[in-house]
A = this chain, B = another copy of it.
Amino acid sequence: MDQTASQVEWKKGSAELLILSLVEARPRHGYEISKLIEQRSGGTVRFHVASLYPLLYRLERRGWLCGRWVEKSGQRRRRYYRLTRQGRKVLASQLRGWHEFVVGINRITEAENA
């Protein structure tokens, strides 16, 4: 479960897809997203705050997410992000692209042992 050098590189670009996926069903805040990624991947995938928060702003700036501050007594303010209509299209496109990519890589790495 260690983070090999390659795993660090593989992550590049995947954060977008993960965030968009996680806010698809309902709005979530940054910290929640980061914890969900870690939990659901069984600890294999993890993103540092220095990656996550800037990415959230980026996705919002692109119009794929829409963030809104929520204040509740007994807890710090949180910024909840929901998926916009445009974000939904991007998510669908990225999911297609991701599956295509995985198939491509697998075809290459498995061709030799076929």
Contacts and interface: CB of A to CB of B under 8 A. Distances in A.
Contacts of A101: 7, 10-11, 44-45
Contacts of A18: 105, 108-109
Contacts of A12: 9-10, 12-13
Contact of A17 (B25, B40, B94, B105): B105
Interface in A86-114: 93-95, 97-98, 100-105, 107-109, 111-112
Chain A contact residues: helix, strand, loop or mixed: helix
Given A9-B13, A14-B105, 19 more contacts: A6-B13, A6-B97, A8-B13, A9-B14, A10-B14, A11-B101, A12-B12, A17-B109, A18-B108, A21-B111, A21-B112, A22-B112, A24-B112, A36-B108, A40-B107, A41-B107, A44-B103, A45-B108, A98-B105
Interface of A: 4, 6-14, 16-18, 21-22, 24-25, 36-37, 40-42, 44-45, 93-95, 97-98, 100-105, 107-109, 111-112
